[in-house]
Amino acid sequence: MANLKDGEFTVHLNGINHWVKIEGAENQTIPLILIHGGPGGNHYVFERTAGPLLAKSRTIIYYEQRGCGRSDRPESDDDYSIDLLIKDFKELKKWLSAEKVDLLGYSFGGELALEITNYFPEEIHQLILSAPSLLQTVIQKMVQVTGFMSIGESDLFNRLTEDIQTGATLEAIYNGVWEMVSPELVDLLLFEDQEIARKNRGLWEESHLVNSGLMSRALMNSPVKVPLLDRLKEIQHKTLILTGVFDRNTGVPISKLIHTNLPYSRLVLFEESAHFPDLEETERFVKEIKMFLDKRHSQKK
C-alpha cells in the first residue's frame, strides 16, 4: 500500500471530481473507508464527531459520493445508480493503492457498503454497518411509517390511521407522510435525545451542504435486478451491525433482517440511541468499532 498522507483532496473518479479526506494516516492500518447515508448526504457531521476519535487509532478515508456534499454533480440528473456508485468506489480504491480496505457505512451507506462488498468480495476486509437501510423493500417503508406514528404527534397519528383504514396503498402513505412532516418531526424520528438533534441540525446548517434529492429519486427509479436481501448470504465477510433500539428510520427490524441473512455478523444494540448511535452514544460507538477491527479471528453468529 502506498504511503497515505493526511489532508483533503479532489480526486477525479469516473469522470467526476470527488471530495476525499484522509485522517490518521500515521496509524498505518488497513484503510477504513467511511460511506455516508442519505442517499445524497455527506460526512460533515461525522467528520466532527465520531470520525476524529476513530482516527486516533485507525487510518480513516472520508469520501462523498457523486453529487453529494463537496463532490461535483454528474452532468445528467439521472447519472446515479448502485452500479455507478460501485464503479466510483472502485476508482477510489485504486487511487488509495490499497490491497484491501475495511468499510464503515451508516444508514444508506451501510446498504451501499453491502453492495460494494457483494461486487468486490476479494477487495474488502471487514464490514461495519450502522443503522443500515434496505431502501427498496416494503419493510423499510413500514418501519418509517410506523416510526412516525410512534413519536406522539396526535394529528400525524390520526392522519396515518385514517389513510390505513381507508385502504390507501403503502406507497401512497409513505410518500404522503414525507410530504407533510416538519423538520421537528423528522428530528423526533431520527433522535431519542432532542438536544443532540438540535446540535446535529446546527452542524447541518453550518455546513451549507444540501441534499438535492436527485440521488434518492434516481435510485428509487432504477431498482437492482436481484434485490440485495436475496444476495446477503453470498457475503462471507466478518460484519459488525450497530443499531439504536429506538431507531424509527431503518430500525431494529431491518438490522435484524440483515444480521439473520449474513453468515458472519454480530448485532450490537444501543439502548439510548435512535438512528444515530454515533451521535447519541459516541464513546460506545467508537469503542465497539475499535474492538471489532482489532480482533483477528472471525466470529460466527
Residue 224: predicted pLDDT? 87
Tens digits of pLDDT across the chain (301 residues): 568 999 999 999 999 999 999 999 999 999 999 999 999 999 999 999 999 999 999 999 999 999 999 999 999 999 999 999 999 999 999 999 999 999 999 999 999 999 999 999 999 999 999 999 999 899 999 999 999 999 988 999 999 999 999 999 999 999 999 999 999 999 999 999 999 999 999 999 999 999 999 999 999 888 888 999 999 999 999 999 999 999 999 999 999 999 999 999 999 999 999 999 999 999 999 999 999 999 853 343 4
Query: Does 166 lie in the same domain as 121?
Result: no
Residue 289 covered by a domain: yes
Grid cell listed for 30: 488497513
Query: Does 77 lie in the same domain as 147?
Result: no
Return all residues near 178 (Cβ < 8 A) that are at least 6 apart. none
Q: Please check whether residue 106 is in contact with residue 131, taking contact to mean a CB–CB distance below 8 angstroms.
A: yes
The domain containing residue 260 runs over which residues? 7-136+209-294
Give the amino acid at 293: L
Residue 299: predicted pLDDT? 40
Q: Count up the domains in the chain and report the number.
A: 2
CATH classification of the domain holding 103: 3.40.50.1820
Q: In whole angstroms, what is the distance from residue 111 CA to residue 259 CA?
A: 12
Residue 295: predicted pLDDT? 82
Query: Does 267 lie in the same domain as 123?
Result: yes
Grid cell listed for 166: 381507508
Query: Does 125 lie in the same domain as 23?
Result: yes
Handedness of CA 161, 254, 68, 5 (dihedral sign): positive
Query: Does 25 lie in the same domain as 174?
Result: no
